[in-house]
Structure 1
Amino acid sequence: MAYIIVLLLVACFCDFVFPDSQGDGDALYALKISLNATGNELADWNSDQVNPCTWSRVYCDQNYRVVQVQLAFMGLTGFLTPRIGALTSLTTLSLQGNEIIGDIPKELGNLTNLTRLDLESNRLTGEIPSSFGKLKKLQFLTLSQNNLSGAIPESVAGLPGLINVLLDSNNLTGQIPEQFFKVPKYNFTGNNLNCGPNYQHPCASDSTYQGSHHKARIGLIVGIIVALLIIVFLGGLLFFWCKCRHKGYKLEVFVDVPGVLLDGFFSGSRSFASLAEMAGEVDRRIEFGQLKRFAWRELQIATDDFSEKNVLGQGGFGKVYKGILADNTKVAVKRLTDFESPGGDAAFQREVEMISVAVHRNLLRLIGFCTTPTERLLVYPFMQNLSVAYRLRELKPGESVLDWPARKRVALGTARGLEYLHEHCNPKIIHRDVKAANVLLDEDFEAVVGDFGLAKLIDVRRTSVTTQIRGTMGHIAPEYLSTGKSSEKTDVFGYGIMLLELVTGQRAIDFSRLEDEDDVLLLDHVKKLEREKKLDDIVDHNLSKNYNIQEVEMIIQVALLCTQASPDDRPVMSEVVRMLEGEGLAERWEEWQHVEVTRRQEYERLRRRLDWGENSVHNQEAIELSGGR
């Protein structure tokens, strides 16, 4: 009986924390089963997990409701379950390029927030549901290259927001509703519909029709252009290679993903080279991510003409300003002042891509962006409690110190955010500058990992990437400094240093400690006090003894495990999360202590041997000098 009561309490708690996301998770899991997703496909879609916002290809809003599902080109079969109609907050559903069969469920009409529906290139049959007429916010409807039949419902044609309707290459018949011909872009070719030369309206809008009619000709022209571009590109590479070799430099160009994409001419996988970025590609990708495009004037007014009094902080690529939009929404605007340099422009693209695909409660959400010929700006939610570093070391008079329970939540929340970046994003995302200043605090003092400007997408087939070293001294892992190769384990090291910042309230490097003949590096300082069992001397004095010493010891142990010299010895972030939750720390710590004791013993033996050798030399010199006299 007691066990049943506990289960009921847990269920009530989960419903309180995630009142609607659990229903979203059930609907998504039903979709996974109906699409026959097996093996490695959607492996992290777990029915036992309350919150689906950590699942791959699923994106949520700030209320943990599912707003995007991206399952394109995954080779999925099966059918669409009617339970998908429970995802009432969904704005984007992309299932194109699969082998889905059966009818389109009428329950899709319940997704009244949907703005984009893409079911292209499947094997769907039956009619277009008339319930689509309830999708008043729908802008993009793509049902091309299926086996749909019957007439196009009048209710669909009356949708007020449609700007793109693609129903080509099906078996549709009958009259095309007149309203469809007012949509900016439409395509009804490849059906048995009353359009074309013998009717009043063409089967496709001008741009679509011309593109289809002259497909072969465009393909020939594009082929010639691509060939010329490749020749010029290879010639340029050969020239630079010869020049760099002559000067003794090493030229490295990494192409992360095979394939080519030339701004819409070709579809398929995407190729990025370090020497060329294609004009317009950034904006095209961002618009697909449903981010808001802000006008420059709008952000200029919001920040009071980017006034210095609104500066929240400054990083390697520009300043961050507090802003208030016209609807009184508070935002943080990151203005990239050096984007014209190769690093600045690449950083803008990386950050937009990172934050667009990484959606998690412990990661900073990107609201929108602004681009002009001379400016790049990113817009985030304003974090009213600023950063952990601010709360630890930069408090103004009257502001409260970050208490111990809040520090524990920061430790766990940051770990969960990094775990998502490393283990649930594909390709994985490496932050490369984990520190207290880059962990923000929302209104409830929950940790939100921000500043992906230094992040690097890493293909799952590669464990490291050679690049210029980015980060903050004191937080950079030793192998990254020595080799320039970063991995998720460099983030683990930075996270360990961040834990020490949380416990001590001190900076990673502090030259004022030299006055007390102490270690400049916070890591060495804590290691020394931990060996001497002086844990109370480690803890931030601003806490005024208001902490649990056992919990302090646990976090210090996790921090020291994360900052081991060898990256192979450090835990992965999922292990860190488990250790902070009380699982497996004792075993890892005992193993670490054994290694540390052995290492220190070897060090002491070597030091005594060197001391003995120096003393022997001095004694021998003394004998020789006395004998000579």
Structure 2
Amino acid sequence: MPVEMNFILVFLLLACLQYFVLADIQGDALFALKNSLNDSANQLNDWNPNQVNPCTWTRVNCDQSSNVISVSLAMMGFTGSLTSKIGALKSLATLSLQGNGITGGIPKELGNLTGLVRLDLENNRLIGEIPSSLGNLKKLQFLTLSQNNLSGTIPQSLASLPSLINVLLDSNDLSGKIPEQLFEVPKYNFTGNHLNCGINYSHPCESDTDQGSSHKSKIALIVGITVGLVIILLLGGLLFFWHKGRHKGYKREVFVDVAGEVDRRIAFGQLKRFAWRELQIATDNFSEKNVLGQGGFGKVYKGVLADNTKVAVKRLTDYESPGGDAAFQREVEMISVAVHRNLLRLIGFCTTPTERLLVYPFMQNLSVAYRLRELKTGESILDWPTRKRVALGTARGLEYLHEHCNPKIIHRDVKAANVLLDEDFEAVVGDFGLAKLVDVRKTNVTTQVRGTMGHIAPEYLSTGKSSERTDVFGYGIMLLELVTGQRAIDFSRLEEEDDVLLLDHVKKLEREKRLGDIVDPNLNKNYNIQEVEMMIQVALLCTQASPEDRPAMSEVVRMLEGEGLAERWEEWQHVEVTRRQEYERLQRRFDWGEDSVYNQEAIELSGGR
């Protein structure tokens, strides 16, 4: 045999040997990870140690040289721990394990993954210290360890990471000093720990994400007065409809469309694409007896898949898209990026030429609105401790959408009906992102954004421009729903007073110091009046007329946890007195009479503005 042929055979033999050795090392490491994560549901059933090439396994991506470069196992319900053998995946660039229930510590062997660019372990139950070995990850750009139970100090070695652009360590039990260099990272968050930062130190605990929140001036007062007049006009239209249908038992919420702004889109996530027939069978042909609820985006049906998994299927209405399936899928994938214990997980979707459907896990305790106002005989009400947990959980979910998603997600329809309750009665925010999803319409300049009357911020009604502060307003109204058990708009109050809006009703009782009259009578006085007062104060701060005056959701979370409320409340009282005096002066000037309201033409609420 010629020498050249021998050389080629030896080369090929060595190449094959290297391939199989590499595959064995990577396969062994991944299989060890599967076992340590406690994959009791066997979701990773194709992670087979007898299958040589792990590049064909679910949620594993490789490069052209068969090096494992990405492992994405977010929101899969794992409850085990992280194995040290994961350090053998030398070429790994992305490790995403967020949204599980992973326990134990972070293995120091992660520091061996020198090619790692993104490490996301958010929203698990990890304990112990952050390994200093992570300082070896010189290519690391995104480090997310938020919402765990990590303790100890932040390793100084993290300060030497040259590529770091995003470090999120919030909501842990960390203490001590933050390495100075980490404050130079473009985006950081150290809130919810016991770290040395904040007002009494040289740096804030979180990078500034809202440049406009500090602007408070007389302009805000003028804006508040203007939008107040807009509300009066809209309320006149609502009163007209009520006056015509007051004998028809009108109880349904009023939905409106308002012009919005341009949407940005990203592509991400791994979702199941359901067949139409599969969902048709699951919901018994979308039977009315399976309807769980109906809102501005369509009906929601209870369904049971072929594997007996219970789901909630949202059948979107009025959907039009010039981009067809591709545009819809991009928006769906944008929603799937948001992974948080207080946000509803999206399982998958279905598209046909005429239908758009979303599939979510079924929440057996339904919505907060149901538990407040629609209980069947024998079902228990929401007690006060549960209502407090709902308030805080919802705030944390919205904080995540506003401040930890990139791009940020604005809900646009925050209300008790869109806050669901899991088996432990923990709050799960649903329908986020649907305002964008439903309204990818005939123009790339504006969209139609929907909301529910009584929950929509005044500046949104008058300008059609939404921001995270419009969500804060809706959240404030939801807090009032929690406290009172009442709807945001209730025409039955016209029999006794002029305050159809729940917000005005509560403000009046609060001014008169009649807190006991505000609280849901179904609680039978089983509540802490100081906690009730605190929640009402937070709600009124969130529902200020000027968006610049409202707190960010991160501040709302802190106030609900007992930090900074007293100062904000005292400031609000001074502003509110001035605003009310000016508002009453304008009312006297315009002299709105009963006849002028009831004789108005009907205001069209379903079209864009």
TM-score range for the pair, normalised by the shorter chain length: 0.5 to 0.7
* Partner Cα separation in structure 2 for residue 472 and residue 345 of structure 1: 28
Alignment equivalent of 1:397, drawn from 377, 380, 383: 377
Match of 2:473 in 1: 493
Counterpart in 2 of 1:20? 102
Aligned to 1:322: 302
Mean alpha-carbon deviation: is it higher for 602-611 or for 490-499?
602-611
Q: Residue 338 of structure 1: which of 318, 340, 360 is its match?
A: 318
**Counterparts of 1:398 and 1:304, CA distance in 2:** 28
Q: Which amino acid aligns with 1:386?
A: L
How much has 1:343 moved relative to structure 2?
A: 11
The residue aligned with 2:333 is 353
Whether 2:489 is the aligned partner of 1:509: answer yes
SS of the residue aligned with 1:23?
coil
Give the drift of 1:332: 0.6
Tell me: higher relative CO, structure 1 or 2? Use CA pairs within 8 A at least 6 residues apart: 2
Which amino acid letter does the alignment assign opposite residue 407 of structure 1?
R
**Aligned counterpart, 1:34:** 136
Q: Structure 1 CA distance, aligned partners of 2:138 and 2:306?
A: 47
Residues 218-264 of structure 1, C-alpha deviations (whole Å, 9 max, x = no match): xxxxxxxxxxxxxxxxxxxxxxxxxxxxxxxxx9995848xxxxxxx
Counterpart of 2:390 in structure 1 is 410
Once the two structures are superposed, the pairs formed by residues 224-243 of structure 1 within 5 Å of their partners are: none
How many equivalent residue pairs? Answer: 365
Q: Distance in 2 between matches of 1:423 and 1:25?
A: 28
Q: Which amino acid aligns with 2:495?
A: E
Alpha-carbon offset, residue 453 of structure 1: 4.9
* Secondary structure class of the residue paired with 1:429: coil
User: What is the match of residue 14 of structure 2?
Assistant: none
2:285 alignment partner in structure 1 = 305
Structure 2 spans left out of the alignment, 5+ residues: 1-80, 82-98, 111-118, 120-129, 152-160, 165-258, 438-444, 592-609
For 1:442 and 1:610, how far apart are their aligned partners in 2?
49
SS in 1 for 2:540: helix
Deviation string 1:455-510 (CA, Å, 9 cap, x unpaired) is 449xxxxxxx9643421111110111111110000000000000001101111111
Shift of 1:604: 6.2
Alignment of 1:526-605 (within 5 A): 526-602=506-582
> 2:361 matched to which residue of 1?
381
Displacement of 1:533 in angstroms is: 0.3
> Which residue identity is paired with 1:23?
G
- Asked whether the equivalents of residues 283 and 302 of structure 2 are also in contact (C-alpha less than 8 Å), the reply is yes
Q: TM-score under structure 2 normalisation?
A: 0.54
What is the rounded CA distance, in whole Å, between the counterparts of 1:395 and 1:540 in structure 2? 14
Q: CA deviation at 1:608?
A: 8.7
Q: Tell whether 2:439 aligns with 1:439.
A: no
The 1:485/1:338 distance shift into structure 2, 3 A limit, reads: closer
Structure 2 contact 371–381 (Cα < 8 Å) conserved: yes
Select 1:524's aligned residue among 504, 515, 518. Answer: 504
Q: 1:339 to 1:599 in 2, by over 3 A?
A: closer
Q: Which amino acid aligns with 2:149?
A: V
Q: Deviations over 1:347-372 (max 9, x none)?
A: 95475134310000000001122233
Instruction: Give the greater-gyration-radius structure (CA).
Output: 1
- Determine if contact 1:350/1:456 at 8 Å carries over to the other structure: no
Deviation at 1:311, TM superposition (A): 0.9
Runs (5+) with no aligned partner, structure 1: 1-14, 53-73, 78-250, 258-269, 271-284, 458-464, 612-629
Shift of 1:290: 2.0
Equivalent-residue separation in structure 2 for 1:547 and 1:541 (angstroms)? 11
1:335–1:599: structure 2 CA closer, same or farther, 3 Å change rule? Answer: closer
Deviation, structure 1 residue 35: 2.6
Q: 1:188 maps to which residue?
A: none
Give the Cα separation in 2 of the matches to 1:328 and 1:528.
50
> Against the structure 1 CA distance between its residues 348 and 400, is the aligned structure 2 distance closer, same or farther, given a 3 Å change threshold?
farther
Tell me the CA shift for residue 454 of structure 1. 3.2
Determine helix, strand or coil for the equivalent of 2:349: strand
The 8 Å contact of residues 138 and 162 in structure 2, kept in 1 or not, is answered as: no
Instruction: Give the direction of change, closer, same or farther, for the CA distance of 1:589–1:413 in structure 2 (3 Å limit).
Output: same
Query: In structure 2, what residue type is equivalent to 1:537?
Result: D
Q: Is the 8 A contact 2:260 2:466 kept in 1?
A: no
Contact 1:406–1:445, Cα closer than 8 Å, also in 2: yes
* Cα contact 1:317–1:337 (8 A) shared by 2: yes
Q: Does 2:452 match 1:472?
A: yes
1:326 positional shift: 1.9
How far apart in 1 are the matches of 2:538 and 2:475? Answer: 10
Q: CA deviation at 1:531?
A: 0.3
The separation in 1 between residues aligned to 2:370 and 2:107, in whole angstroms, is 36
AA of the residue aligned to 1:33: G
Alignment of 1:367-378 (within 5 A): 367-378=347-358
- The alignment partner of 1:326 has SS state of coil
> Bigger shift: 545-554 or 329-338?
329-338
Q: Where does residue 429 of structure 1 map in the other structure?
A: 409
| 1:534-576 deviation line (CA, Å, top 9, x unaligned) | 0000001111111111110000000000000010000000000
Q: 2-side partners of 1:37 and 1:423: how far apart?
A: 24
The whole-number CA distance in structure 2 between the counterparts of 1:317 and 1:18 is 29
Please give the alpha-carbon distance, in whole angstroms, between the structure 1 residues aligned to 2:573 and 2:552: 19
Deviation per CA, 1:138-168: give whole Å up to 9, x if none: xxxxxxxxxxxxxxxxxxxxxxxxxxxxxxx
Instruction: Answer whether contact 1:317 1:339 (CA < 8 A) is retained.
Output: no
The 5 A counterparts of 1:240-319 are 254=262, 256=264, 285=267, 289-319=269-299
Contact 1:347 1:453 in 2 (8 A): no
Change (3 A) 1:349 1:479: farther
| CA-CA distance at 1:49 after TM superposition | 4.7
What amino acid does structure 2 have at the position aligned with 1:420?
Answer: Y
Amino acid in structure 1 at the alignment position of 2:533: E
Q: 1:552 to 1:376 in 2, by over 3 A?
A: same
Could you give the per-residue CA deviations for residues 74-94 of structure 1, whole angstroms, max 9, x where no partner exists? 9959xxxxxxxxxxxxxxxxx
The structure-2 alpha-carbon separation of the partners of 1:406 and 1:253, relative to structure 1 and needing over 3 Å to count, comes to closer
1:327, CA displacement in angstroms?
Answer: 1.9
> What is the rounded CA distance, in whole Å, between the counterparts of 1:474 and 1:610 in structure 2?
23
SS in 1 for 2:451: coil
1:50 aligned partner: 149
Taking a change above 3 Å as real, the CA distance of residues 588 and 19 of structure 1, as seen in their structure-2 partners, is: same
